[in-house]
A and B are shown apart, each in its own frame.
Chain A
Amino acid sequence: MCRTGQDPDGERDVDATDAVFTSLLEDSAEELYEQAPCGYLSTLMDGTIAKINTTLLEWLGRDRSEVVGRMRFTDLLTVGGKLYHETHFAPLVRMKGEISGIALDIKAAGGQRMPVLVTSRVKASGDGEPLLIRTTVFDARDRRAYETELLRGRQAAEEARREAEEAHRAAEEARQAAEEAHRQAEGARRQAEADRERLQEALAVLQQNLLPAALPEVPGMEAGSYYHTASPDLLGGDFYDLFPLGADRWAFFLGDVCGKGPKAAAVTSLTRYTLRAAAMHDPDPVTVLTTLNTVLHERYSGGGDPRYCTAVFGVLEPEGDHVSVHLASGGHPAALIQRADGAAEYLHTPGGMLIGILSWAQFTPARTRLSPGDTMLLYTDGLTEARTGPARELYGEEALLAFTGAQPPAGPQALVSALSGLLAGFGDGLDDDTALLALGVPAPLDTPTSET
């Protein structure tokens, strides 16, 4: 609506201008109604259309004759519009006398829909009795298109928001799942670690049970030992012992059971106690090893899992300032003697057979004397079969002989200490358990050590 301002001081000019405008427009109230830029409609209180302008008829694609007196306002609406008209529009018009700006769709004769904004007002008689309803209908196509865009935009935004939330939720779930998996893995790792610790603890106890807790004191002699464990998870098969045979004799042994693990440990245990028992009965080294051979063979042959070992068993008999040694070997590396003058030599026991494989076996005895300053070394093949150098060659008996010959003759414990240093130097070249047992007669305190 446009309202022209009136200027009281320029009335004559205005009159003249009005006349010009009027002639220019050649307009009339009738034409204003019929050709208005909006639709006009008057209905009786029951909705029957009494008057309608040309603009609206053109939008509807209908003739005046088929509308006036024949159609109701609701006939112009879509079904949704009809329902809305009945439940909201008509009741509100009745209660308030007017309603404005309602969005509806009108239905043209051809079936096309046209979005419109509708305003209705009740015209009442002088005594307030409602007579008819005047309605204006504005073209709302642009506005509806705009609203549709807004709606679509809002839906797209909501969709995007939902998708983002969904993605966020999925990510959060994945994160929680990963955390849970991590927690479980961590728990399993801790459990495995605890299991491993318990196992190692048990293994360590078992292993110690296969070795003497400490070597006994032998009057007039010195002893040293060392045990290198290649893997804390596997029981080793090496064993040694030193124990008295009555008041003036001592027995010793050192050996290596084939294989590792619990079964090898059982063989080691059987071997150790068999050797001790046999030595009490008859300490002759060949007899002791023969007894062990019989026991192992009876126990393990025929079970499909033959077990055997190599061992050196011997007896020490102190005689004055020296000790006589009587030993026998079954398939075991030769004992090594470091003499008081620094010279090193093997005490060979050729032809001794592996213990426990055959029902009968031959063992090779040997004898020697340990004078003051002499040390006898027993060892398992972990030492001589260690891999050394870039070519990973076997360390070997020659190298051991040379190494020992290069050590000052300072007694069993000094030799064991030097050899354990050698073993440590092998690093991962040493992949087997290794047992060392050194027995010697201490040199007199006032005797200077010999140079080599």
Chain B
Amino acid sequence: MDTRRRNNVTVVGRTDGPVLLLAHGFGCDQNMWRLVVPALAEDHRVVLFDYVGSGRSDPAAWDERRYSSLEGYARDVLEVCAELDLRDVTFVGHSVSAMVGVLAAARAPQRFARLVMVAPSPRYIDEDGYRGGFSEDDIDELLESLESNYLGWSAAMAPVIMGNADRPELGEELTTSFCATDPGMARVFARTTFLSDSREDLKSVTVPTLVVECEQDVIAPREVGAYVRDAIPGSRLVTLKATGHCPQLSAPQATAEAVIEFVGAAR
């Protein structure tokens, strides 16, 4: 299996620069990083990919059992690293991917030098003494809405996919793939994401870690950012003046600066 093709691997930037491996979260693909890539690529070698089941990955590589646990997604990361023989990697993971990075770094510590966790959440569901931001009912409703209501989502996205003459810089490629998700695979990814509990795994992190959060994030609230920082010894928490769950889109400049500064300061 050709891992580059399977995971739609893209490499941009300075070939001799430090490696940034950008990993997208649930519901999107590597286009999520589009607005930060130009700034990061100036001095870094930027590697982007789509997890199997997302974006333009090879649908033939889908294996429901493998991708029903975060370990399966971590194997994608490790196989991309092996294929490109990446070393001294700064892994930048968004949302659930931050946890995938934790698992990958524990498996192959020799490859990873740093972790950047963008809007991470090790556990979405509230429990005694822990606030993830969602009740169990919320998550059930979310998963149910994915199972039963996909027609509404996909039909509704059709007008968006049609042309974008007034914003040509977005390009056909972006709008087409931005929302292109196989409903069946997305359901598996959603279930894996929102039912996972990676809190224990945070303790295994030994590399320098930066946690990036937004002031207002309905998916990963501020308590969760603080929890992650406290769980990873020596980690730093940066709170961006941004709203939403995707600072790389809502505050691309601030996000890129935080990453660049972290990599530079650690070197």
Which A residues contact B (CB, under 8 angstroms)?
Answer: 45-47, 72, 74, 78-88, 90-92, 94-97, 99-103, 105, 115, 117, 144, 147, 150-151
> Roughly how many angstroms separate A92 CA and B216 CA in the complex, as a whole number?
18
Contact with A along B150-184 (1 / 0, CB 8 A): 01110111111000101100100000001100000
> Roughly how many angstroms separate A85 CA and B142 CA in the complex, as a whole number?
13
Contact check: which of B157, B166, B167 meets A88 at CB < 8 Å? B157
B243 at the interface (CB under 8 A from A): yes
With A47-B216, A80-B142 given, name 5 new contacts (CB 8 A).
A80-B146, A90-B246, A96-B170, A97-B166, A105-B145
Contact check: which of A45, A91, A94, A144 meets B152 at CB < 8 Å? A144
Contact check: which of A79, A87, A115, A147 meets B27 at CB < 8 Å? A87
Contact in complex: B167, A83 (CB < 8 Å): no
Q: Which B residues are CB-close (under 8 A) to A80?
A: 141-142, 145-146, 149
Q: Chain A nearest CB: distance from B67 CB in Å?
A: 18
> Roughly how many angstroms separate A99 CA and B146 CA in the complex, as a whole number?
21
Q: Chain B nearest CB: distance from A74 CB in Å?
A: 5
Q: Which B residues are CB-close (under 8 A) to A46?
A: 216, 243
Q: Chain B nearest CB: distance from A91 CB in Å?
A: 4
Contact in complex: B27, A101 (CB < 8 Å): no
Contact with A along B127-150 (1 / 0, CB 8 A): 000000010001101100110110
Contact in complex: A95, B27 (CB < 8 Å): no
Contact in complex: B159, A79 (CB < 8 Å): no
Interface SS of A by simple majority: helix
Contact in complex: A87, B160 (CB < 8 Å): no
B260 at the interface (CB under 8 A from A): no
Contact check: which of A85, A95, A97, A150 meets B151 at CB < 8 Å? A150
B26 at the interface (CB under 8 A from A): yes
Return the 4 tightest CB-CB contacts between A and B, nearest first: A80-B145, A103-B152, A87-B27, A86-B245
> Roughly how many angstroms separate A151 CA and B246 CA in the complex, as a whole number?
31
Contact check: which of B145, B151, B158, B164 meets A147 at CB < 8 Å? B151
Contact check: which of A87, A96, A97, A151 meets B28 at CB < 8 Å? A87
Q: Chain A nearest CB: distance from B34 CB in Å?
A: 9
Contact in complex: B149, A88 (CB < 8 Å): no
Q: Which B residues are CB-close (under 8 A) to A150?
A: 151
Contact in complex: A103, B153 (CB < 8 Å): yes
A-B contact pairs, 23 of them (CB 8 A): A46-B243, A47-B243, A47-B244, A78-B142, A79-B142, A80-B146, A81-B145, A86-B218, A87-B25, A87-B26, A87-B28, A88-B27, A95-B167, A96-B160, A97-B166, A101-B158, A102-B156, A103-B149, A103-B153, A144-B152, A150-B151, A151-B148, A151-B151
Size category of the B interface is 35 or more
Q: Chain B nearest CB: distance from A374 CB in Å?
A: 100
B249 at the interface (CB under 8 A from A): yes
B250 at the interface (CB under 8 A from A): yes
Q: Which B residues are CB-close (under 8 A) to A47?
A: 216, 243-244
Closest to B150 in A: A151
> Roughly how many angstroms separate A105 CA and B156 CA in the complex, as a whole number?
13
B41 at the interface (CB under 8 A from A): no
Closest to A119 in B: B159
Q: Which B residues are CB-close (under 8 A) to A92?
A: 160, 178
Q: Which B residues are CB-close (under 8 A) to A100?
A: 159-160
Q: Which A residues are CB-close (under 8 A) to B245?
A: 86-87
Contact in complex: A88, B179 (CB < 8 Å): yes
Q: Chain A nearest CB: distance from B163 CB in Å?
A: 11
Q: Which A residues are CB-close (under 8 A) to B156?
A: 101-103, 117
Q: Chain B nearest CB: distance from A352 CB in Å?
A: 91
Q: Which B residues are CB-close (under 8 A) to A45?
A: 243
> Roughly how many angstroms separate A85 CA and B217 CA in the complex, as a whole number?
11
Kindly name the residue among A80, A92, A147 whose own CB sees the greatest number of chain B CB atoms within 10 A.
Answer: A80
Q: Chain A nearest CB: distance from B184 CB in Å?
A: 13
Q: Chain B nearest CB: distance from A44 CB in Å?
A: 9
Contact with A along B94-105 (1 / 0, CB 8 A): 000000000000
B231 at the interface (CB under 8 A from A): no
Q: Which B residues are CB-close (under 8 A) to A81?
A: 145
Q: Which B residues are CB-close (under 8 A) to A82?
A: 218-219
> Roughly how many angstroms separate A225 CA and B229 CA in the complex, as a whole number?
116
Closest to B148 in A: A151
Q: Indicate whether A91 sits within 8 Å of B142 (C-beta atoms), given known contacts A97-B167, A150-B151.
A: no
Q: Which A residues are CB-close (under 8 A) to B148?
A: 151
Q: Which B residues are CB-close (under 8 A) to A85?
A: 218
Contact with A along B28-57 (1 / 0, CB 8 A): 100010000000000000000000000000
> Roughly how many angstroms separate A150 CA and B164 CA in the complex, as a whole number?
29
Q: Chain B nearest CB: distance from A356 CB in Å?
A: 81
Closest to B31 in A: A91
Contact check: which of A72, A94, A101, A103 meets B216 at CB < 8 Å? A72
Q: Which B residues are CB-close (under 8 A) to A84?
A: 27, 153
Q: Which B residues are CB-close (under 8 A) to A94?
A: 249-250
Closest to B167 in A: A96
Closest to B35 in A: A95
> Roughly how many angstroms separate A82 CA and B218 CA in the complex, as a whole number?
7
> Roughly how many angstroms separate A91 CA and B28 CA in the complex, as a whole number?
11
> Roughly how many angstroms separate A95 CA and B158 CA in the complex, as a whole number?
17
Closest to B248 in A: A91
Q: Indicate whether A79 sits within 8 Å of B246 (C-beta atoms), given known contacts A101-B156, A151-B151.
A: no
Q: Which A residues are CB-close (under 8 A) to B151?
A: 147, 150-151
Q: Chain A nearest CB: distance from B237 CB in Å?
A: 20
Closest to B220 in A: A86
